[in-house]
């Protein structure tokens, strides 16, 4: 996507991608970021320990529970939640910077965070990724080498609760085939960038220019 088109968009787009753990939202979100270099990513704060290969400030901001609780008390989070025994949150500052600069921002967060973002930013685009079946979701989670058995069982137990919140989202992507699921997520993002709210000011500029050229 060219820089010329990006400059026409004065308001940044917030794209929220949520799913039950193991349904594939992070894989899809990373692929979208790779495809669109100008798409910003909301790096969440979390109290969970880093997994193998994760980098502080890149994948997450890893903080202590004490630091996280202090940030909550200071009102620094646009959304935050306790998920699978750990705390996660998105700082207001990152969202404000994106909106003011006209930068699109991608959120890879759970349904609790997604609902908070939507309540505070009603124009956010909401996408929920579904697994093809509960059995397949369980298979994917149990195939993870990065989580303990106890952690996997906790995530499986929470998956049913997470699935119940699909109706808070505008778009549903079923991740049975990764390429097809990605094509659908990409289509939602590209179409959302053409939304009237984001492009109306450019249309008005053209109308104004055309009127000036009238005899």
* pLDDT for 9 beyond 60: no
**Prediction pTM value:** 0.81
Question: What percent of the chain is modeled with pLDDT above 70?
Answer: 93
What 8-state DSSP symbol labels residue 128?
A: E
Q: What percent of the chain has pLDDT over 90?
A: 58
Indicate the pLDDT class of residue 10, thresholds 50, 70 and 90. low
Q: Does the pLDDT at position 206 exceed 80?
A: yes
Cα(88)–Cα(26) distance, rounded to whole angstroms?
Answer: 15
More confident residue, 169 or 197: 169
Contacts of 107 (CB under 8 A, 6+ apart): 14, 15, 16, 17, 42, 90, 113, 114, 117
CA 85, CA 76: separation in Å to the nearest integer? 21
| Interstrand relation of 86-91 and 125-130 (parallel, antiparallel or unpaired) | unpaired
Return the CATH number of 3-41+104-212, one of 3.90.1150.180, 3.40.50.300, 3.30.1310.10, 1.10.1200.10: 3.40.50.300
pLDDT tens by residue, 89-99: 999 998 988 88
How many C-beta neighbours within 10 Å does residue 87 have?
Answer: 20
What residue spans of 48-177 are helical by DSSP H? 65-73, 92-101, 111-120, 134-142, 149-163
pLDDT tens-digit series, residues 50-89: 988 999 998 899 999 999 999 999 999 999 998 878 999 9
Q: Quote the CA–CA distance of 123 and 104 in Å, as a whole number.
A: 12
Give the Cα separation of 207 and 109 in Å (integer).
Answer: 40
111-146 pLDDT, tens digit per residue, is 999 999 999 999 999 999 999 998 888 888 777 656
Contact partners, residue 62, CB within 8 Å, separation at least 6: 46, 47, 48, 49, 50, 56
15 vs 104: CA distance, rounded Å = 8
Token digits of residue 66: 């004490």
What is the domain partition of the chain in residue ranges? 3-41+104-212
Q: Count CB-CB contacts under 10 A for residue 94.
A: 18
Predicted confidence at residue 19, as pLDDT, reads 93
Do 18 and 169 touch, CB atoms closer than 8 A? yes
């Amino acid at each position: 996507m060219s820089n010329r088109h990006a400059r026409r968009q004065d308001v940044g787009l917030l794209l929220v991608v949520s799913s039950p753990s193991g349904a594939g939202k992070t894989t899809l979100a990373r692929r979208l970021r790779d495809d669109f270099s100008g798409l910003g990513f909301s790096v969440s704060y979390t109290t969970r320990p880093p997994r193998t290969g994760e980098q502080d400030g890149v994948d997450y901001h890893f903080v202590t529970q004490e630091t996280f609780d202090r940030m909550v008390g200071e009102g620094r989070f646009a959304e935050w939640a306790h998920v699978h025994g750990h705390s996660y949150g998105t700082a207001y500052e990152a969202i404000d910077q994106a909106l003011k600069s006209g930068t699109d921002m991608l959120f890879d967060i759970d349904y609790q965070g997604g609902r908070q973002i939507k309540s505070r930013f009603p124009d956010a685009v909401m996408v929920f990724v579904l697994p093809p079946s509960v059995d397949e979701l369980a298979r994917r989670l149990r195939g993870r080498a990065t989580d303990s058995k106890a952690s996997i069982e906790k995530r499986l137990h929470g998956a049913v609760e997470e699935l119940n919140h699909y109706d808070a989202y505008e778009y549903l992507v079923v991740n049975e085939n990764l390429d097809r699921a990605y094509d659908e997520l990409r289509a939602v993002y590209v179409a959302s960038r053409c939304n009237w709210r984001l492009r109306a000011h450019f249309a008005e500029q053209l109308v104004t220019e055309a009127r000036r050229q009238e005899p």
